Structure 1
Amino acid sequence: MLNYIKAECFKTFKRIYMRNTLLIFVLLAIAVNVLFFVAFRSSPTNSQELIRTSLSVIVPMLLIMVYTALIMVDIVFSDEYKYKTFKNTLSFGFTRTQVYFGKLAVSMIVTAVIFSITLAAYLVSLFLLLGFPEDMGLIGVVFNRVAAAIPLYIGALCLCNACAFIIPNNTAFSFVYMGFLMVPYLLFYTLTLLNPAFTPLFGTALVTPFYTSIMGLDIHVANMGDMMGVGFKVDNIENILNAALLPGTSVAYCLILGLAYAAAATLIGLAVYRRREIR
């Protein structure tokens, strides 16, 4: 399977799709700090507050990245469905299990490369344009949130990978993946508003930890309105600016939920793919 992963990585990283996606992500990351610099360069007295706000923006961006898992998986799968080469891969002697886990591994590698380079571009542009924060502890807080989000991203990638293997159509599996992210969250959100007894159920939606743990919002009715946005509200930014490292219970919550989604999605996806006819 290692040879298959190497071959897939070589093929994937040579695609224009991959390079363009990386370029767009990097340019968008730099553009955020350029906008900060252009908009607030006339107020140097507030430079430290501006640096802190720019760092804090990374945290709500973590939620948006869950939805971009679609792009990462599509980079790996797009040519397979376009040129119908899945059958050729199997004819070379690779088992369906090897293909399934090989594609999943490549999706994770692609995600790690793109997100790491994007984060590095954001931080470098921030430090070059805005300067370094006096309180370096905030950088530790941001990376603490990023680390807690990693298991959730693994769960999201496993879910998206399963959708891609089960549904042999790029557009269709994209809608199904988005449905798995949004429908449970909105449904459990509504049920929790009707009766707080459904709060534990609301906590099982994959995107819930981005609000409850990573953004530091408790699950109760008073905070439900904040949980519906993507997190760019001023009060949410202030929560991060004044935050400390996540407690162990929050980290464990993210870890358990992310790995539970990963295990369930992989087991179901592989079981269906091994029985599906490949054309």
Structure 2
Amino acid sequence: MLNYVKAELFKATRRMYLYILTALIVSGCVILLILLAMSAVEGNFNGASREAALMFLLMFLIGGLYLAPFVSDIVFSDQFKLSTIKNEVAFGQSRTKIYLGKLFAALIVDVGVFCVIVGVYLCGAFLFLPDKGMTAQVMPSVWRSLLGALPLWLGGLGVMMCLHFNFKSSNIAEILYFVFLLATSGGLTVLAWLVSDRFYRIRDLFLDVPFWTLSSGTADWAFVGRCWATGFCWLAVSTIAAILLFRKRDLS
């Protein structure tokens, strides 16, 4: 299994797609920091400080869920269309090993992208933006929000990998993922308004809902624990479902 994961990582890290995607996101972060720094120097924007930049970071954390289709595609890379999975099965690789190997590789890539984006942003914020005396008070909330966001990113990636493996069309898989993100919590909120407050409890189990608290910087450690439970439950359930479905799938 370890050699298989290494092979998948080798292939993923040789794709320019990975570096272009990361560079585009990092460039957006740098542009935002430059604009904030210029505003701070010119005195045009009273909120242009390190603390304001950190709050912007929390607001954008939900974007990690929308990166899942790209990260999954970097590892999966349309393999049904190219018949490469069919060839792997024909050469004796078990379907469970194939799925888990690609999933672990995708998770490692996702964590790497997370660390690069957050690392560059934090370094830029601390190097180029003034401290208005609140950084020490804000940073614990930032760390809690970052720690809460990571497992939710991974849970979203697990769902996306499950869809990629079980739909021949990558486009359909990605559309279903975006519907999953955009429609489920909103639909359950409407049902809660119209039918019963119990639907709020179901809504709170979905991956996007915790970001409402994480983006505000008000998450405590108990909430971070809930984020880890939510993220890894989605990862575990999607992995089990994907393996069971993939085992039965006709690859011809």
Same fold (TM over 0.5): yes
Contact 2:80 2:168 in 1 (8 A): yes
1:271 is aligned with what amino acid? Answer: L
Aligned residue number for residue 225 of structure 1 = none
Structure 2: unaligned runs, 5 residues or longer: none
**Taking structure 1 as reference, are residues 51 and 176 closer, same or farther at Cα in structure 2, changes over 3 Å only?**
same
Alpha-carbon separation, structure 2, partners of 1:253 and 1:4 = 32
Aligned residue number for residue 16 of structure 1 = 16
Q: In angstroms, what is the RMSD of aligned CA positions?
A: 2.0
Aligned residue number for residue 199 of structure 1 = 200
Q: 1:114-155: per-residue Cα shift (whole Å, max 9, x none)?
A: 111111111122222214563323222111111012221221
Contact 2:144 2:224 in 1 (8 A): no
Alpha-carbon separation, structure 2, partners of 1:39 and 1:248 = 34
Alpha-carbon separation, structure 2, partners of 1:112 and 1:206 = 17
Aligned residue number for residue 3 of structure 1 = 3
Aligned residue number for residue 183 of structure 2 = 183
2:243 pairs with 1:270? yes
2:140 pairs with 1:140? yes
Contact 1:159 1:261 in 2 (8 A): yes
Stretch moving more, 72-81 or 94-103: 72-81
Alpha-carbon separation, structure 2, partners of 1:171 and 1:133 = 46
Stretch moving more, 104-113 or 90-99: 90-99
Give the count of matched residue pairs: 250
Q: Note the C-alpha offset of 1:106.
A: 0.8
2:116 is aligned with what amino acid? Answer: I
DSSP-derived class of the 1:68 partner:
helix
DSSP-derived class of the 1:65 partner:
helix
Identity percentage over the alignment? 27
Contact 1:29 1:122 in 2 (8 A): yes
Aligned residue number for residue 28 of structure 2 = 28
1:262 is aligned with what amino acid? Answer: L
Contact 1:185 1:205 in 2 (8 A): yes
**Taking structure 1 as reference, are residues 75 and 45 closer, same or farther at Cα in structure 2, changes over 3 Å only?**
closer
The alignment's TM-score, normalised by the length of structure 1, stands at 0.83
2:45 pairs with 1:72? no
Alpha-carbon separation, structure 1, partners of 2:28 and 2:211 = 22
2:97 pairs with 1:88? no
DSSP-derived class of the 1:207 partner:
coil
Contact 1:29 1:119 in 2 (8 A): no
Alpha-carbon separation, structure 2, partners of 1:106 and 1:181 = 23
DSSP-derived class of the 2:77 partner:
helix
Contact 1:185 1:208 in 2 (8 A): yes
Structure 1: unaligned runs, 5 residues or longer: 216-238
